[in-house]
Amino acid sequence: MKKSLLTVGICMLAVTSFSQKDKGKKVESKYLSLPSYNITETDPSTVSVEFAMQDGSFGTEKLKDAKSKCVPKGGSLKDVVEVTSYYYEIPYTQGESYVIAKSADGNVVYGNKTSETGQSTLRFGWDEKMSQPQCEYFISDKLKKDWASQGNSFKSKEDSKYANSVFNEASQEAMANVYLSYMPEEFEVFTGKGKAYDYTDLDNALEKAVAAYEAIAKNGFNAHDLERLKECIAVWEKELESKDLEDKKARISEDIAKGLHENCARAYLYLYDFENAKEHAKEFQELFGNFSNNRSQAFDKVMIRIQLQKIAAGKNEAIMDNISKLHEMASSAKTSPAKRLPSSEFERVRSDYYSYVGSQANAVYEEKKKEEEEAIASGELNPYEKYYQPTMVGGEGFLMNMPPSALSGFPELTELPKEMCEFTDAKQIIILKNNIETIHPDIAKLENLKKLDLSGNKLKTLPPEIGNLINLETLKLSDNPLESLPDELANCLSLKTIVIKDTSLSSDQIKKLEGWFPDAKIKY
């Protein structure tokens, strides 16, 4: 038995050694970020940044004790003794904060929530370096006396320390977003790794890209280094043409494809080619699926940046093609330091922030809607894909369980459309309280369908193609003006449940159903 286990282990190692993986190399660069307003119409030097924060609050202090290793007065390290010392724990509620930027006419051009309300605990009389109470507080009365005289200043100092750290970080981020400016960033560039294939071209592209990004970090955006990124993209996209997502031992496996799509998305972002950046970002996210880790979460931010930078570029079309001009403007930009406002201004700043966020969300939504309409018109996108749910209870399919409205987001349907029938893996279709009068004959393609619920529609009959649904187990047609059912329905031998309440089916029709499906549960 030991021999067979060893053999299995060796085989497993052999299989693992032939799987191809991606390999990354970290690089520091900087991205020339476009502000979300037209800088040819609004002078960036007139834009001011404001920061406001809620006051922090403190709870009641609690007396605590712990062991401290202390040196007696006049003693040395060899005289260390362990004593019980005292300290206070003070609950501290940190305030939330916001930063906004306004043009001279009062229009908010940037906003960010820079801290959340949070709970923490402060300690008075605690030695942070030694991770123990301060030795001088081996008598609790001394601690109490010092707290009475120093407690308020201690709380004020700690509150200011936290607020200062948030303000400084918020200011830096605001500067990078409010003005045409460079944003430092660190990320990885990927190549392939595996003994079975030669990845020299990918290795060379990685090194060239890293060199270009590092040069940009030093010199800013310039035609030479951006051209080098284009050359790298050409290599990555050529390799992606041979990707095989099913075979882990393929030269361009799923793992390596992830890295190459990420490379392309980031490089295209630097080139302000947002359409191609978006396509590669979408491919990357599809390969990652629902799995989430630090890498996918970091890339979610890249996806948002692609959308926002595309909108910003649209507002600055007049200068988008002039990289040297953009670099010059970013390098010589006159910026104003953020103003730290008193807490009395907090509500006003928060209100301005939410107004800005609403307008940004609107802009992103409109941009996505426009892209979606163009993709549907070109035949590139199925108009019902966004309603298809791969993780529904009972199997993947369509769940439209509310009437059509702006609130539900569901469209009004007069037909179960042909495009839905293209999802041949669907296990169920549930479309309730709509206006479906007919079902497209292509429903015959849905041979995997197990449940069809069209309750609350306007069906008078079903198409004969319904008989192709050999795996259909549940059919619900309540609250429809049904007058007849096709004889082909009798071919659906898997039917176990039929619900036809509040229809116009005659008793003869119902008897026919009972004859076709003697073992099914029929509710009418």
**Residues in contact with 427: Cβ distance below 8 Å, sequence separation at least 6, in sequence order:** 392, 394, 395, 396, 397, 448, 449, 450, 451
Q: What angle do CA 287, 289, 291 make, to 5 degrees?
A: 115
Closest CA to 258 of 289, 290, 288, 297: 288
Beta-carbon neighbour count of residue 18 at 10 Å? Answer: 13
CATH class of the region 385-523: alpha beta
**Residues in contact with 460: Cβ distance below 8 Å, sequence separation at least 6, in sequence order:** 437, 480, 481, 482, 483, 484, 504
pLDDT digits (tens, 9 = 90+) for 285-312: 888 776 667 787 778 888 888 988 888 8
197-206, long-range: CB < 8 A, 24+ apart = 197/20, 197/251, 201/235, 201/239, 202/235, 202/236, 202/239, 202/260, 204/235, 205/231, 205/232, 205/235, 205/236, 205/263, 206/25, 206/232
Tokens 């085989």 — which residue? 11
Token readout for 268 is 């295209």
What are the backbone angles phi and psi of residue 416, rounded to the nearest 5°? -75, 110
pLDDT digits (tens, 9 = 90+) for 385-423: 889 988 788 899 999 999 988 888 899 999 999 999 999
Q: CA 41, CA 311: separation in Å to the nearest integer?
A: 16
Beta-carbon neighbour count of residue 306 at 10 Å? Answer: 21
Tokens 């040297």 — which residue? 324
pTM passes above 0.85: no
Residuewise pLDDT in 10s, the chain (524 residues): 333 333 333 333 333 445 677 789 999 999 998 887 888 888 888 889 999 999 999 999 999 999 999 999 888 888 999 999 999 999 999 999 999 999 888 888 888 899 999 999 999 999 999 999 999 999 999 999 999 999 999 999 999 999 999 999 998 888 777 888 888 899 999 999 888 899 999 999 999 999 999 999 999 999 999 999 999 999 999 999 999 988 888 999 999 999 999 999 999 999 999 999 999 999 998 887 766 677 877 788 888 889 888 888 988 888 888 999 899 888 887 777 889 999 999 999 999 999 988 887 776 667 777 777 788 888 788 889 889 988 788 899 999 999 988 888 899 999 999 999 999 999 999 999 999 999 999 999 999 999 999 999 999 999 999 999 999 999 999 999 999 999 999 999 999 999 999 999 999 999 999 999 999 999 98
pLDDT digits (tens, 9 = 90+) for 139-156: 999 999 999 999 999 999
Instruction: Supply the DSSP symbol for 421.
Output: G
Q: CA 466, CA 484: separation in Å to the nearest integer?
A: 13
Concatenated DSSP letters of 109-162: EEEEEEE--EEEEEEESEETTTTEE-GGGSSHHHHHHHHHHHHHHHHHHHHHHH
Query: Where are the domains positioned within the chain?
Result: 20-37+180-331, 48-173, 385-523
